[in-house]
Every structure is written in structure tokens, then in C-alpha cells.
A and B are shown apart, each in its own frame.
Chain A
Amino acid sequence: QKEVEQNSGPLSVPEGAIASLNCTYSDRGSQSFFWYRQYSGKSPELIMSIYSNGDKEDGRFTAQLNKASQYVSLLIRDSQPSDSATYLCAVNLAGTASKLTFGTGTRLQVTL
């Protein structure tokens, strides 16, 4: 089992719709969770961080964390073509100090 798992996609949503991206992680003791956006050929850009169960909203983005089920998700409301990118879930796994473990990413395509 991979430590951080994501569906590779592509996930295709029409412009204006809600995109839902999911991530599961293996270590129940993990405490810090991050979503990064990576455009092709570019480095990752931090979108959201979440540390406690529940929802965290920032503009069109909402991160959801459920530690009991070991999953974290990212919702993008009113999806725009500029949101088309690969979204990386990163987890600070328990016992790994400050290191991040990344999922393989989900490619999102927002269609006109």
C-alpha cells in the first residue's frame, strides 16, 4: 500500500462545476496535510494546509480532513480553465519529522 494515494485521473469537469479531489494516507498518526497545484513544467504551489478534522475554506477552495477514515479532499468551486493542473496531496507522515510524502497527483481538466 502506498503511503499517500491519489487517483491519477484525468478528472474532467465543465467550467463552473465543482471539482472534487481525494487523497488517502496510510499512517493514522499523521498530523499535517497539504494540497499543492502543479502546472505542467512548473514547480508545486501551495494551495491549502489543514491540520484538524473538518473543513477549511479559502476562496473557491475547501479542504476536508477526516482522520478517522484517513482521507483528505480538496473541493474547487466554480472551476475555471485556469484550474487545469495536477493537484498533489502531501502528508507529513508520523515519525518523519518535517518531511512531506507526496501522492502521485490527480490531473484536473476543466473544459469550456
Chain B
Amino acid sequence: GAVVSQHPSWVICKSGTSVKIECRSLDFQATTMFWYRQFPKQSLMLMATSNEGSKATYEQGVEKDKFLINHASLTLSTLTVTSAHPEDSSFYICSAFGPGLSNEQFFGPGTRLTVL
């Protein structure tokens, strides 16, 4: 159990375009999901907390109008990078709490975004 998937696994886009990344909990329901970003040789930085049926909570310094998060169901959260620029190129990873009362977070496989 506690499998989290992401799609796509990698994407290359032109500067100025928008990219949508999907995060799904495959075998459990996730009322809360988290979106992280990781630059090369750096640690994970939390971008936002995605709550099913309500607005996401963004970390300080993260532009909510640029990184749109939608958590429309108990198994799906999406992150849309709008008007992407080369500096947005990074490894984007989502996570969710596993089933049960544990507060362990399980990560999706990540999406590598390259903006040309």
C-alpha cells in the first residue's frame, strides 16, 4: 500500500508555456498532499500543502499565481506551472500521508521539468 504516482515523469517545454503535473494516490485516499521542489544537489523544499476541497497553503516565497494547485478529489492533486521560465526547471515531487493514522509521508516518483 501507500503508492503515489506522478505524471508525467519528465517534461520539456518552451519558455512561457504552462505545464500540468498530476499526483495520484493509487491505493488509498489522501486528503492532504504536499508538493516539493528539488534543485540539483540540494534538499527538498516544500512548496505548498494541498488540501482536498480547499485552497492550497503556500510556503513563504512561493508564488501562488505561478504554481497553481488543485486538489479536486481524494486521490488526485495537480500542480500547474504557469508561464514557465528556465529558472523553474527542477525536480518536482509530491507526497501524501499513507493510510491509517501514521503521519509518514510517501513520495511519488517525481517529475523532471526542463524549460528551454
Which among B93, B106, B107 has the highest number of chain A CB atoms within 10 Å?
A: B107
Q: Kindly identify which residue among B97, B107, B108 contacts A98, using a CB–CB cutoff of 8 Å.
A: B97
B93 A43 Cβ-Cβ under 8 A? yes
* Assembled-state Cα–Cα distance A103/B103 (Å): 18
User: Which residues of A sit under 8 angstroms from B103, Cβ to Cβ?
Assistant: 32, 92, 98
A100 B105 Cβ-Cβ under 8 A? yes
> Number of A residues whose C-beta is below 8 Å from B?
21
A102 B44 Cβ-Cβ under 8 A? yes
User: Which residues of A sit under 8 angstroms from B91, Cβ to Cβ?
Assistant: 43
The total of interchain contacts (Cβ-Cβ below 8 angstroms) comes to 44
Hey, what's the 0/1 contact readout for B40-54 against A, CB within 8 Å counting as 1? 001110100100000
Hey, what's the 0/1 contact readout for B74-116 against A, CB within 8 Å counting as 1? 0000000000000000010100010000111111111000000
Chain B contact residues (Cβ within 8 angstroms of A): what range? 10 to 19
User: Which residues of A sit under 8 angstroms from B42, Cβ to Cβ?
Assistant: 104
- Please tell me if A46 contacts chain B, counting CB pairs below 8 Å: yes
* Assembled-state Cα–Cα distance A98/B93 (Å): 17
Q: Which residue of A lies closest to B49 (CB)?
A: A99
* Assembled-state Cα–Cα distance A111/B15 (Å): 42
A99 B44 Cβ-Cβ under 8 A? no
A100 B46 Cβ-Cβ under 8 A? yes
User: Which residues of A sit under 8 angstroms from B29, Cβ to Cβ?
Assistant: none
User: Which residues of B sit under 8 angstroms from A101, Cβ to Cβ?
Assistant: 46
Taking the closest CB of chain B, its distance from the CB of A56, in whole angstroms, is 13
A49 B104 Cβ-Cβ under 8 A? yes
User: Which residues of B sit under 8 angstroms from A105, Cβ to Cβ?
Assistant: 43
- Please tell me if B70 contacts chain A, counting CB pairs below 8 Å: no
Q: Which residue of A lies closest to B106 (CB)?
A: A46
Mark out the residues of chain B between 20 and 44 whose CB falls within 8 Å of any chain A CB in the assembled complex: 32, 34, 42-44
